[in-house]
């Protein structure tokens, strides 16, 4: 007997067929990169606010983060993933990734 | 098996078999009262232990179709009963092994149940939900520009991100203020209120987060004023969607010492 599934309500389980394993692994790697990207960006914005960086440094930092952002968008596009897809619900601790960054 | 199992919907007082006439519960079985010595009445119907025994329940509760149907029946029965007498709803799938076990359960928490019934008599539960304002369209444009056009300096990119972050922070603060204000306002027209955990976006199917999920216990005579208050809040906060629904059985206001 098959039970109908409501995938939008229940968190996805890790399926074990080869295609989805690859996609899920890719997703997990992107999640980690996105976490680091967000931390770097936050730190960069803080440093710029403090005003102790030279104009060249601010410019270089901005370009680097912008490229990283673009690269992430491109990688996500490969498996048709959105930023929300990368987030992991940590239950009482809330989501892993900030939704405001 | 000497006695069949009883599925317990809720607990009431001064309810006889005639009051429950015509209400059908799970499996189409008639819903009937089980009276206890403490003056409480359990609202039950007979169920098969093959379907509602401990092991079978554990299996069935994983089955979303079964869960949805059972929850609908549970709710429909409670609404029918609530229309005739005050009833303290129990949570889904409360099963007792026979009428004697129902009575024992009622007697065990008689004091709690009587005070719960005193509280909810003549009152019904209403739900008030507030959703955050949709994000300002300006941010979307900035986001699209950053991914589509590689042009623009690093400094501009950082400034744009900074603006996005601070405008989202402001939006979050404003959403919290609206939620608190709505809660305070509806509390003035309710006998009791509970602030439940906001539902996950996956359940609501909304793109904006829920910021308030309140349960309000509203007296029948206060209902028009309560509804008018919510309507006026809707006018005051046009950008935030405010939903309200009721009257429901008082699910959120009955605390029974359950095992």
CATH number reported for the structural domain that contains residue B187 in this entry: 3.30.70.260
State yes or no: ipTM above 0.90. Answer: no
| Distance between CA atoms of residues B205 and B193, nearest Å | 25
Which of B121, B150, B184 delimits the end of a domain? B121
Do B29 and B108 fall within a single domain? yes
Measured between beta carbons, the chain B residues lying within 8 angstroms of A48 are: 158, 162
Determine, yes or no, domain membership for B145: no
- Per-residue pLDDT at B54: 85
Do B13 and B79 fall within a single domain? yes
Asked whether the beta carbons of residue A70 and residue B147 sit closer than 8 angstroms, the reply is yes
Do B117 and B193 fall within a single domain? no
- Per-residue pLDDT at B215: 92
Q: Which residue of A has its CA nearest to B161?
A: A101
- Per-residue pLDDT at B152: 66
Determine, yes or no, domain membership for B232: yes
Task: Give the CA count within 13 Å in the CB-facing half-sphere of B165.
Answer: 15
- Per-residue pLDDT at B177: 92
| Distance between CA atoms of residues B28 and B73, nearest Å | 10
- pLDDT tens column, B95-131: 888 888 888 888 888 888 888 888 888 898 999 999 9
Do B9 and B52 fall within a single domain? yes
Å between B91 CA and nearest CA of chain A: 21
Determine, yes or no, domain membership for B200: yes
Do B133 and B75 fall within a single domain? no
What range defines the domain where residue B184 resides? 125-137+171-253
Measured between beta carbons, the chain A residues lying within 8 angstroms of B169 are: 100
- Per-residue pLDDT at B252: 87
Determine, yes or no, domain membership for B162: no
Q: Which residue of A has its CA nearest to B135?
A: A100
Asked whether the beta carbons of residue A6 and residue B64 sit closer than 8 angstroms, the reply is yes
Is the pLDDT confidence value at A16 over 50?
A: yes
Domains identified in chain B, total number: 2
Do B51 and B114 fall within a single domain? yes
Domains identified in chain A, total number: 1
Mean pLDDT of A51-56: 87
Q: What integer best gives the mean pLDDT of chain B?
A: 84
Which of B90, B121, B152 delimits the end of a domain? B121
Q: Which residue in B64, B154, B205 is closest to A59 by CB distance?
A: B154
Do B85 and B192 fall within a single domain? no
Do B29 and B113 fall within a single domain? yes
Do B104 and B22 fall within a single domain? yes
What range defines the domain where residue A79 resides? 18-87
Å between A22 CA and nearest CA of chain B: 25
- Per-residue pLDDT at B205: 76
pLDDT band at A11 (very low <50, low <70, confident <90, very high): low
Is the pLDDT confidence value at A12 over 70?
A: no
| Distance between CA atoms of residues A88 and A31, nearest Å | 8
**% of chain B residues with pLDDT over 90:** 20
What is the per-residue DSSP string for B27-51? GGPBPEEEE-TTSEEEEEEEE-HHH
- Per-residue pLDDT at A32: 92
- Per-residue pLDDT at B150: 47
pLDDT band at A9 (very low <50, low <70, confident <90, very high): low
Determine, yes or no, domain membership for B111: yes
CB atoms within 10 A of CB B219: 15
- Per-residue pLDDT at B130: 92
Determine, yes or no, domain membership for A78: yes
Phi, psi angles (nearest 5°) of residue A44: -60, -45
Do B132 and B246 fall within a single domain? yes
Number of inter-chain CB pairs under 8 A, A vs B: 63
- Per-residue pLDDT at A95: 78
Measured between beta carbons, the chain B residues lying within 8 angstroms of A10 are: 64
- Torsion angle of the four alpha carbons B116, B19, B249, B88, in this order, in degrees rounded to the nearest 10: 20
pTM greater than 0.80: no
For chain B, residues with pLDDT lower than 70 are 1-3, 136-152, 255-259
Q: Which of B73, B81, B79 is nearest to B17 (CA)?
A: B81
Do B37 and B85 fall within a single domain? yes
- pLDDT tens column, A77-97: 888 888 888 888 777 777 788
- pLDDT tens column, B194-211: 998 888 777 777 778 888
Interface with chain B: mutation pick from A62, A71, A94, highest number of B CBs within 10 Å: A62
- Per-residue pLDDT at B127: 92
Determine, yes or no, domain membership for B35: yes
Do B75 and B131 fall within a single domain? no
């Amino acid at each position: 007997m098959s039970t109908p599934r409501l995938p939008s309500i229940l968190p996805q389980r890790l399926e074990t067929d080869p295609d989805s394993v690859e996609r899920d692994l890719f997703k997990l790697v992107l999640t980690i990169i996105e976490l680091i990207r967000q931390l770097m960006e936050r730190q960069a914005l803080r440093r710029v606010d403090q005003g102790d960086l030279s104009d060249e440094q601010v410019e270089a930092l901005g370009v680097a983060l912008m490229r990283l952002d673009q690269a992430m968008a491109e990688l996500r596009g490969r498996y048709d993933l959105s930023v929300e897809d990368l987030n992991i619900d940590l239950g009482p601790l809330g989501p892993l990734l900030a939704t405001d960054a | 098996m000497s006695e069949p199992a009883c599925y317990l919907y809720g607990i009431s007082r001064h309810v006889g078999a005639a009051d429950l006439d015509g209400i059908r519960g799970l499996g189409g079985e008639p819903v009937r009262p089980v009276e206890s010595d403490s003056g409480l009445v359990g609202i039950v119907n007979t169920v098969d232990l093959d379907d509602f025994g401990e092991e079978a329940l554990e299996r069935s509760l994983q089955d979303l179709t079964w869960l949805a149907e059972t929850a609908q029946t549970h709710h429909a029965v409670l609404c029918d009963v609530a229309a005739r007498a005050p009833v303290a709803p129990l949570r889904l799938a409360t099963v007792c092994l026979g009428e004697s076990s129902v009575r024992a359960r009622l007697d065990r928490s008689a004091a709690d149940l009587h005070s719960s019934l005193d509280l909810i008599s003549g009152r019904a539960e209403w739900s008030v939900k507030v959703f955050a304002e949709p994000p300002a369209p300006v941010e979307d444009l900035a986001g699209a520009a950053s991914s589509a056009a590689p042009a623009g300096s690093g400094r501009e990119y950082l400034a744009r991100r900074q603006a996005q972050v601070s405008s989202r922070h402001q939006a979050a603060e404003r959403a919290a203020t609206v939620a608190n204000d709505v809660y305070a306002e509806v509390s003035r027209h309710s006998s009791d209120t509970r602030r439940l955990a906001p539902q996950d976006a996956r359940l609501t199917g909304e793109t904006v987060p829920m910021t308030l999920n309140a349960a309000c216990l509203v007296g029948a005579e206060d209902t028009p004023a309560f509804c008018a208050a919510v309507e006026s809040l809707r006018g005051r906060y046009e950008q935030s969607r405010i939903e309200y629904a009721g009257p429901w059985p008082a699910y959120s206001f009955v605390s029974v010492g359950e095992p």
